[in-house]
Structure 1
């Protein structure tokens, strides 16, 4: 952020009213009389440069629970964020980001993630994201508030039993999970309408309500499946699409849990064979890897005198799907060979033992070494001064971010909401140790505190809560504060309750419910335990044993749901909409080959493979965002291989013992 940008940001924060002229139609209710827009406070934190109401705006679009009966009794509130383009002359077709999961959401952690990851697209376009139905902070319609509140202590400790013994030596969904789903259904919600087709119709309605006639989509993970369904069900308005981490509906995603790992190992072998030095040092690498895995299962692979667990061997390739300062990929052939040989293991000791599979960054050291070899003393002094300045600038950016975040919170608390909500929360927190000393039931306190999230946000309910859990001077003081609070401050307190309870509940409970709502209803019986076992055993690298428990638990949890398979949902999607599909070599969630597979019915598509990337390539390689940006600008353009070359696997490490 430049000094001028900082001054403009601070001036806008200090001003009492932002310039909301760019969003006046949304503030007035949006562009679709069927899908009402209601502006709300953006989820925190925000990026320092964002001004709510000027550079971004947030709110809710209300859509029918069932698009086939739009006048039905139920609606769903979808939380959105709209990031305004930084151009004075933006293209009219924005980028809509569709998140993964299903059920992950964009917004539980705040709107800053979207700002920081989609900045390049804002050069020329608005960027929109929304939490899909039964996802993130749009999960309210499928939340089992009663069961959640009663089991809050277990939820907060992540101590929920999701499965239990079925009495026949197998597993079934736990009573807790079944009670949760029963509560949702008893509320009148139709869970069969929480599926990818309804999501596709939601996306179109959201974009129309926000005032757009044409748009582009960037879909990630489950968002790619949703994008393909949009092409089939609601293509009107969709100009082009980029799919990253592709999960086409034709793939049996849960039968193939172990396929991405097997594919990654196949690629590692192929990349080594394609490099002359690697192939000479580590011939027949695939056979060696299988041998190491099989012998590890018998306790025959030793490291430092102890058997190396088979699961550790299986997951060595998984580390490539994580973020690294420097790539561990070049070392893997040597590591597998050293375990196979049963002699000295210098590469394994270094990479697995000392580095923990996370090699240190060497770019700065390499640059300094090159500088010392080519510059005189004065030149080296300038290089060191430049590096010192860069570190200071980085520290200053972090301090600036913290300062602006604190200023934003201070202004909102003291000017926009009033100070009494924060004061009540602070005094209530200070009184908790006295409650514990007096032998009060803190679990009951937490349960009732969480229950404040449901129902009307008024002073009466808050006063009742205080009367039930406090007494004496503390009770009198807290009740006096409630009596002095304005309606805005009362609402702010309830909002803080929601913010303090929901992150933990979301991470440990609701997110998993959201996942199950989708794949239990629409992916079964297309996937099954029997097909999972058969598919896993047939893989070229059948390293699936650590997936078996995951698969068994997943299928057991689905006993809590009725299945609602839809005819044609798992068929190939046919479309001529321009589409760029991106696979990643080390993706352990969606196999890299599925990007090419999904082009089968797409007559205007191109697929690329990014080697040094895990799940969702844009998170790993900056060139992916550059490539997507270029594609949105000209969807008819045939992209070159510049990004693929930029993200290629580095030369493989040849251990000293393997040299001729």
Structure 2
């Protein structure tokens, strides 16, 4: 309770105690640093300026020609260590994608995922160049503004139909790329090598001279490239959900999924009870996919396409800390094959919505009903009741603190008038903008506020164009009463709002493709994709064919840029832990071992019951890697491997009934 009161006191203080971060940033050198507001949601205990700080570091667009005048602002966050004596070398998280940042919406999740490391050291997170909120230099502002309704509301796609109805690259995407280049941006500088050179530039700028890297997904590519081109300062490395640069990633789209399917088949065969209940599971799975492709699998009176069968494995990979679906998948496959009732499918899909229920009070009491006296059982019931109350109170506290944090930011950083203006604007929209054409026009003009003059008259013109009646009068009165700083805050809020609503398009159709099309696709072919997919033990082509064809088609809009040394095995003696996971359908578990081929000081682990980025699934992975960062010379044992072993498989009730008959 005392910690909660201390947190609330700090949160509501006029100014945070910024001594720690002031001292840290004062040690920085090199690239310019600017402190900015942290975008929410934040974890409940965080105090901006005291436990977390956010900002930007301005780096050269081209590290090989740093004086050419072109720069990129990279957004970062420092999550302060929860100790008075932190290690000098922080953990630096290199995110995946490529192009999918974390700082617009992910700081709360990041704080939870990297909590084990904050016990001893700071955690640094940054959105890489052409990723998340570090995408300003590769954003086509005019094209997005002109098509804002399609981008922000309807979800613009990179394809359109030609006169014959065939898919082609959308002209909007081509125009967007052309606009970015015409603005002076060198698109060829947005690659993993330049990204790797950003790492030491950022860290020395914010006051560190040694660091530890934790890469997940594309972040493992970036980590390996940083080990190759910018190894100075790296103390140790973890790569988790590994994609080595020399793997032809777009030819092998199907391989990770096929590996995870084959592994489940092998795990079932290795358990006598599962093998007896679901014999020849691999053969049955192959048959179910073939029959569903032919339209011959029915469930609840509806045809089951092969994508549904494959979704059993995809959904398993998507569940972070939600219990394992592994035990139930063999029964689900057999139920589709049998074509009769499907109680396991109903339970997992309809009752649980793919999320295995957590242990609750009823389950605890049932597990201990034969072990306790009546008095002990009564005390356990009281304790479980108190635990439920604490859980609800914790949730309520988190909501209240988030609301308080938003209100404090609105009143202190923006001032009350911009907040009132935004509230009035929101109230006016449904009453005065009543047609689709009017809504599109208002949205387009609002998006245009991101650029150009930031004046009171411009805002006045905007509201007079799109609003009328009492709402217009109130909006104009609010504008008249605002200071110049408050006027600027309205423009800032508009820019942040539009960026948030267009971020999915920016990340998925510009940022990701800049990397994929310029440096990966030149080494991959659609013929190669078809060949590798056909070689897999299970036919997963129905799940990947559209994506496989799509990535090669859309990359026609980008220039292919061949990179020297990019597909060579990375050689290094930096202490490294490489982790592959059994559920992972995005990066093959086998690639974790492959990545260590040129690493002379590496340890490799396979975590059976985890998905893409094992850290987010299994608590022991955080414990294991935190211990490694504390002592990179330590030889880690297999405790985490054992703790995440495949659990016993579920034997559906109909199995015994079938055996009895």
TM-score (norm 1): 0.94
Assess if the C-alpha contact under 8 Å between 2:158 and 2:509 holds in 1.
no
**The 10-residue stretch of structure 1 (625-634 or 324-333) with the greater mean CA deviation from structure 2:** 324-333
List alignment gaps of at least 5 residues for structure 2: none
1:445-482 deviations in Å (ceiling 9; x for gaps): 11111111223544343233234434676545433422
* Contact 1:292 1:336 (C-alpha < 8 Å) held by counterparts: yes
User: Deviation of residue 295 (structure 1)?
Assistant: 2.2
2:14 corresponds in structure 1 to 16
Q: Residue 253 of structure 2 aligns with which residue?
A: 257
Counterpart of 2:650 in structure 1 is 653
Q: Distance in 1 between matches of 2:613 and 2:184?
A: 37
Change (3 A) 1:440 1:526: closer
Instruction: Report the TM-score, using the length of structure 2 for normalisation.
Output: 0.94
Kindly provide the CA deviation profile for residues 80-110 of structure 1, in whole angstroms up to 9, marking residues without a partner as x.
0011111111111100011110011011115
Deviation at 1:416, TM superposition (A): 4.0
Within the candidate set 98, 120, 126, 2:122 is matched to 126
SS in 2 for 1:77: strand
Counterpart pick for 1:53 among 49, 52, 57? 49
> Structure 1 residues 48, 326: CA separation in 2 closer, same or farther (over 3 Å shift)?
closer
What is the match of residue 623 of structure 1? Answer: 620
In structure 2, the residue matched to 1:208 is: 204
Shift in Å, 1:285: 2.2
Alignment check: 8 A CA contact 2:313 2:585 kept: no
Is contact 2:432-2:468 (8 Å) kept? no
Which piece of structure 1 moves more, 302-311 or 341-350? 341-350
Number of residue pairs matched?
A: 656
How many angstroms apart in 2 are the aligned matches of 1:336 and 1:430? 51
Q: Is the 8 A contact 2:145 2:447 kept in 1?
A: yes
Does the Cα contact within 8 Å between 2:433 and 2:467 map onto a contact in 1?
A: no
Distance 1:308 1:212, change over 3 A: same
1:497 deviates by 1.3
Q: Distance in 2 between matches of 1:602 and 1:501?
A: 44
Do 1:155 and 1:509's aligned partners in 2 also have CA atoms closer than 8 Å? no
Secondary structure of 2:82's counterpart equals: coil
The answer on 1:231 being equivalent to 2:195 is no
8 Å contact 2:254–2:540 — kept in the other structure? Answer: yes
Distance 1:58 1:275, change over 3 A: same
Specify the alignment match of 1:447 in structure 2: 444
- How far the C-alpha of 1:136 sits from its partner, in A, is 0.6
Residues 133-532 of structure 1 aligned to structure 2 (within 5 Å): 133-165=129-161, 171-304=167-300, 306-323=302-319, 325-342=322-339, 345-352=342-349, 354-362=351-359, 364-436=361-433, 441-470=438-467, 474-475=471-472, 477-532=474-529
Counterparts of 1:625 and 1:437 in 2: how far apart (Å)?
Answer: 52
Residue 542 of structure 1 and its aligned partner are, at CA, apart by 2.7
Distance in 1 of aligned mates of 2:144 and 2:497: 15
Structure 1 residues 619 and 438, CA gap change in structure 2 (3 angstroms)? closer
Change (3 A) 1:642 1:343: same
Residue number in structure 1 paired with 2:60:
64
Give the structure 1 partner of residue 569 of structure 2: 572
Partner residue, 1:39:
35
Aligned-residue RMSD, C-alpha: 2.3
Cα contact 1:27–1:38 (8 A) shared by 2: no
- The offset of 1:290, in angstroms, is 1.1
For residue 397 of structure 1, report the CA deviation from its aligned partner: 0.9
The offset of 1:58, in angstroms, is 0.9
Instruction: Name which of structure 1's ranges 52-61 and 184-193 shifts more when overlaid on structure 2.
Output: 52-61
Distance 1:479 1:567, change over 3 A: same
SS of match in other structure, 2:589: coil
Deviation at 1:434, TM superposition (A): 4.7
Partner residue in 1 for 2:92: 96
1:607 aligns with 2:619: no
SS in 2 for 1:374: coil
Gaps in structure 1 of 5+ consecutive residues: none
Return the match for 1:76 from 62, 72, 91: 72
Question: How far off its partner does 1:605 sit?
Answer: 0.7
Cα pair 1:26 1:37 within 8 Å, conserved: no
Quick one: structure 1 residues 598 and 166, their matched pair in 2 at CA, closer, same or farther if it must change by over 3 Å? farther
Offset at residue 175 of structure 1 (A)? 0.3
Q: Is the 8 A contact 1:522 1:563 kept in 2?
A: yes
Tell me which moved more, 545-554 or 111-120.
111-120
Which whole-Å deviations, capped at 9, do the CAs of 1:601-623 have from their partners, x for residues lacking one? 11111111111111111111111
